[in-house]
């Protein structure tokens, strides 16, 4: 049977010292605290990376003044946003207006709880982890819709409607790509999915399902770009047309919660991509014993970070390479191309798995 | 957000500052304008697909163990044919929506 418990040396030590209930509470608090730390550090790092990568693509330098290589720039930004006046326009619906910024960040935080960062580094490992991920990421869509409605502003309303249509459309092809890997791995637990890719690099699902795996990876990249509201599919924000879309009326910290959620979401999506297709925390093995020994000496967290970092760089690359689509083109792309293709891809994968046509 | 609420400065509001942002123009009429029915259609089609996808999960999880013969009474041919049926229903739904022009944006 599949073992779903997550053990970690620190957690075990706490369990030895304390009686069961306080130990469980302490472990939970520790997990939440470390995740919160991770989220903060990740967001700061990604804001910096985004600005640097963006600048390099436009032959600029990006932030250089605050700290070494401008590394402290996002912290300065965060402090500035924290000191901003919390403005709530009189026309807004108070409950909806204040609830909306909290939902996306909650959703991405929940997604991070089931991601295996290393062999024993995961907050929880539910058997239906993939379903949990999909459910939790749905909170982000809700936040967008509620925020747009609660703002009581036409720009915001239009932006949130577009964004809702875009987010739930692209969720479908993303789910179908995840389903392909779930089928091939024979489990919906994220750790089992990673462990099913043990072996050489060719055992990663991106390569192991001939053709179907790579196609699913590409489809996943495109649809998660749309899910993340990132260019070229960032219609919900579309600064030039909608003056910021659903968060037009937000200022100060409530605006930064949306912003923060966007960056944490990007990390979560990249982490999911590397978990599903690139072997997650497993070290890449090429079949030569000496090299493999060195590669597997590096801890899994580092490999996980490198793979996710690579995917994040791909997202940024996308953003500065393609122009933004129009809303009807965007929906046509999903419903008339990505969705049928990912359904066909799933069928191809099912055939491959049933008739045992995986790469050896 | 709580921290910000405590330390952020408060400036006297009022006047144009608290109005909805519409590029400087006062809003005309209510903001609760009727919006395109197209969004509703897409939401409806999405619902069909999402529920189907959720039902696909347990079926697909069984596929590998069935192929390896570890599940008594369930053959991989059975699971495969179920997946075929699921995908056929999904494909038909997509085809139907396409033909009924639910996916057009006018």
Instruction: State the average pLDDT for chain B.
Output: 71
Length in residues, chain B: 106
How many CB pairs lie under 8 A apart between chains A and B? 162
What token pair was written down for A184? Answer: 């091939």
Each residue's pLDDT tens digit, A81-113:
777 766 667 667 778 787 888 888 888 888 888
Contact list in B for residue A85 (CB cut-off 8 A) is: 8-11
What token pair was written down for A97? Answer: 């207006």
Each residue's pLDDT tens digit, A349-359:
888 887 776 66
Which of A45-54, A204-213, A338-347, B28-37 has the weakest average pLDDT? B28-37
CB spacing of A165 vs B23 below 8 angstroms: no
Looking at residue B58, its pLDDT comes to 81
What are the residue ranges of helices labelled H in chain A? 9-17, 20-57, 73-82, 94-99, 102-113, 129-150, 154-185, 190-195, 205-208, 212-227, 239-242, 252-277, 289-297, 300-319, 327-333, 339-354
> What percentage of residues in chain A have a pLDDT greater than 70?
90
Which chain A residue lies closest to B106 (C-alpha atoms)? Answer: A328
Contact list in B for residue A252 (CB cut-off 8 A) is: 4, 8
Contact list in B for residue A340 (CB cut-off 8 A) is: 91, 94
The structure's pTM equals 0.85
Q: Show which of residues 7-36 on chain B sit within 8 Å of chain A, judged by CB atoms.
A: 7-11, 13, 17-23, 27, 31, 33, 35-36
Token pair 């009429």 is found at B29
CB spacing of B9 vs A327 below 8 angstroms: no
ipTM of the complex, rounded to two decimals: 0.75
Regarding predicted confidence, which is higher, A229 or A277? A277
What are the residue boundaries of the structural domains of chain B, listed by start?
A: 35-99
> What percentage of residues in chain B have a pLDDT greater than 90?
0
CB spacing of A179 vs B46 below 8 angstroms: no
Which of A16-20, A330-334, B59-63 has the weakest average pLDDT? A16-20
Q: What is the DSSP letter of B33?
A: -
CA distances to A16, A29, A102, A112 from A32, rounded to whole Å, are 20, 5, 16, 10
Q: Residue range A130-137: average pLDDT?
A: 88
Is residue B99 less than 8 Å (CB to CB) from chain A? no
CB spacing of A346 vs B87 below 8 angstroms: yes
CB spacing of B67 vs A346 below 8 angstroms: no
CB spacing of A179 vs B33 below 8 angstroms: no
Residue A232: asked if its preceding bond is cis (omega within 30°), the reply is: yes
Three-state secondary structure call for residue A358:
coil
Q: Which of B17, B80, B98 sits opposite A350 (nearest CB)?
A: B80
Looking at residue A270, its pLDDT comes to 92
Q: Show which of residues 39-68 on chain B sit within 8 Å of chain A, judged by CB atoms.
A: 39, 42-43, 45-46, 49-50, 53-54, 56-57, 60-61, 63-65, 67
What token pair was written down for B3? Answer: 């921290």
Regarding predicted confidence, which is higher, B33 or B60? B60
């Amino acid at each position: 049977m599949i073992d779903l418990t997550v053990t970690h040396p620190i957690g075990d030590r706490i369990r030895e010292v304390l009686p069961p209930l306080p130990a469980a509470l302490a472990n939970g608090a520790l997990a939440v605290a470390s995740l919160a730390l991770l989220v903060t550090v990740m967001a700061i790092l990604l804001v910096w990376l985004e600005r640097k990568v963006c600048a390099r693509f436009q032959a600029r330098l990006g932030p250089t003044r605050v700290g070494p290589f401008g590394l402290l720039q996002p912290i300065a930004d965060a402090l500035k946003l924290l000191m901003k006046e919390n403005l709530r326009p009189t026309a807004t619906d108070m409950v909806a207006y204040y609830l909306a910024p909290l939902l996306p960040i909650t959703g991405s935080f929940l997604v991070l709880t089931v991601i295996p960062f290393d062999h024993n580094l995961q907050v929880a490992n539910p058997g239906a982890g993939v379903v949990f991920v999909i459910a939790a990421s749905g909170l982000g869509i809700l936040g967008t819709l509620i925020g747009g409605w609660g703002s009581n502003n036409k720009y915001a309303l239009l932006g949130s409607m577009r964004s809702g249509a875009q987010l739930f459309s692209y969720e479908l092809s993303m789910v179908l790509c995840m389903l392909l890997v779930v089928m091939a791995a024979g489990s919906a637990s994220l750790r089992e999915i990673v462990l099913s890719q043990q072996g050489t690099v060719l055992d990663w699902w991106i390569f192991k399902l001939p053709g179907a795996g790579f196609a699913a990876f590409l489809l996943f990249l495109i649809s998660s770009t749309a899910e993340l509201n990132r260019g070229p599919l960032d219609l919900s924000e579309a600064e030039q047309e909608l003056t910021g879309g659903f968060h037009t009326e937000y200022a100060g910290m409530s605006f930064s919660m949306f912003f923060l959620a966007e960056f944490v979401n990007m990390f979560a999506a990249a982490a999911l991509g590397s978990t599903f297709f690139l072997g997650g925390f497993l070290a890449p093995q090429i079949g030569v014993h000496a090299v493999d020994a060195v590669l597997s000496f590096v801890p899994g967290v580092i490999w996980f970070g490198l793979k996710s970092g690579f995917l994040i760089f791909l997202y940024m690359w996308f953003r500065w390479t393609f122009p933004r689509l129009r809303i009807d083109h965007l929906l046509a792309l999903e419903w008339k191309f990505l969705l049928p293709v990912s359904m066909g891809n799933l069928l191809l994968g099912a055939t491959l798995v049933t008739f045992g046509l995986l790469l050896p | 957000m709580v921290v910000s609420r405590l330390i952020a400065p408060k400036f006297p509001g009022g006047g144009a500052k608290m109005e909805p942002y519409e590029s400087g123009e006062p809003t005309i009429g209510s903001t609760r304008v009727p919006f395109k029915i197209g969004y509703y259609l897409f939401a409806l089609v999405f619902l069909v697909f999402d529920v189907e996808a959720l039902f696909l999960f347990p079926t697909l999880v069984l596929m590998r163990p069935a192929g390896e013969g570890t599940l008594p009474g369930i053959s991989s041919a059975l699971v495969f044919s179920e997946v075929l049926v699921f995908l056929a229903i999904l494909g038909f739904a997509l085809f139907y929506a396409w033909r009924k022009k639910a996916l057009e944006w006018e």
